[in-house]
Amino acid sequence: MLQVYLVRHGETEWNVARRIQGQSDSALTPRGEQQAYQVAERIRTLGITHIFTSDLGRTQQTTAIIAKACHGCPIVLEPGLRELSMGILEARDIDSLSPEEESWRKQLVDGTSGGRIPEGESMEELAARMHRVLARCLDLPKGSRPLLVSHGMALGCLLSTILGLPASAERRLRLRNCSLSRIDYQQSPWLASGWVVETAGDISHLDIPALDELQR
């Protein structure tokens, strides 16, 4: 049975400042680096064979720390693992949004049909590209155990849709910075074949979990 591990990047400066990141970028905070080292220690014993990471800076920073614990396994930069594009709201302070801009954001996260930020993408588009990356894991050699390093909304949309929920249900999953999740691909005459969620959002390896920007 193929096991795929999922990690969200460490806390960033914009997480702390309550700024919308999307596909823009912000460096890890010292706490974010500490989180990455802690999840790396957790991952050290999991037998990871491949790492696929979003090509955004915050995930690459997180991956560079994790990779040291994975004994030189190959790293692939994967744009399909990027965070949701937040269009014209990227880099904005959450508290500075106008009522109209906040309505765009709310329609998006509430799962309103066609909801998206102008010049951004929808939750459904995000989920589709995440599933395309995940499907490629099925082509890895037998015995592989890949790790995907991505973002909160991106991983939330992936897990939600695996569970048969709408992509917008990602806000019902609490995937904190450097949380660890696992999904398995099972083929069984007795169980539902396909992807199943084994664990989601595990933070037992973190000393002090960080709050998301919307919880601060």
Buried b or exposed e, range 108-128, using 16+ CB within 10 angstroms = beebeeebbbeebbbbbebbe
Question: How much is the pTM?
Answer: 0.93
Q: Which residues sit in the known binding site? A: 8-15, 21-22, 58, 83-86, 152-153
Contacts of 12 (CB under 8 A, 6+ apart): 21, 26, 27, 28, 29, 32, 58, 177
The confidence band for 59, taking pLDDT boundaries of 50, 70 and 90, is very high
The answer to whether residues 27 and 13 touch, using CB atoms and an 8 Å cutoff, is: yes
Residue range 145-188, pLDDT digits in tens: 999 999 999 999 999 999 999 999 998 999 999 999 999 999 88
- In CATH, what number is assigned to the domain containing residue 113? 3.40.50.1240
Q: What are phi and psi of 27, to 5 degrees?
A: -75, 155
DSSP 12: B
Residue 138, domain extent:
2-215
Position 212 scores a pLDDT of: 59
Q: What region, left, alpha or beta, does residue 180 occupy, with left being phi > 0 and alpha being psi -120 to 50 degrees?
A: beta
Q: Which residues sit in the known binding site for substrate? A: 8-15, 21-22, 58, 83-86, 152-153
**Number of domains, the chain:** 1
2-8 and 180-186: which strand pairing? antiparallel
- Which residue in the block uniquely carries the two structure tokens 């969620």? 197
Residue (of 204, 130, 152, 198) closest to 10 by Cα position:
152
Beta bridge partners, 149, equal 7, 53
Q: Above pLDDT 90, what percent of the chain?
A: 81
Position 216 scores a pLDDT of: 40
Residue (of 68, 104, 76, 87) closest to 23 by Cα position:
87
Count of CB atoms situated within 10 Å of the CB of 91: 14
Beta bridge partners, 76, equal 52
Residue range 83-111, pLDDT digits in tens: 999 999 999 999 999 999 999 988 887 87
Active site residues: 9, 83
Contacts of 42 (CB under 8 A, 6+ apart): 180, 205
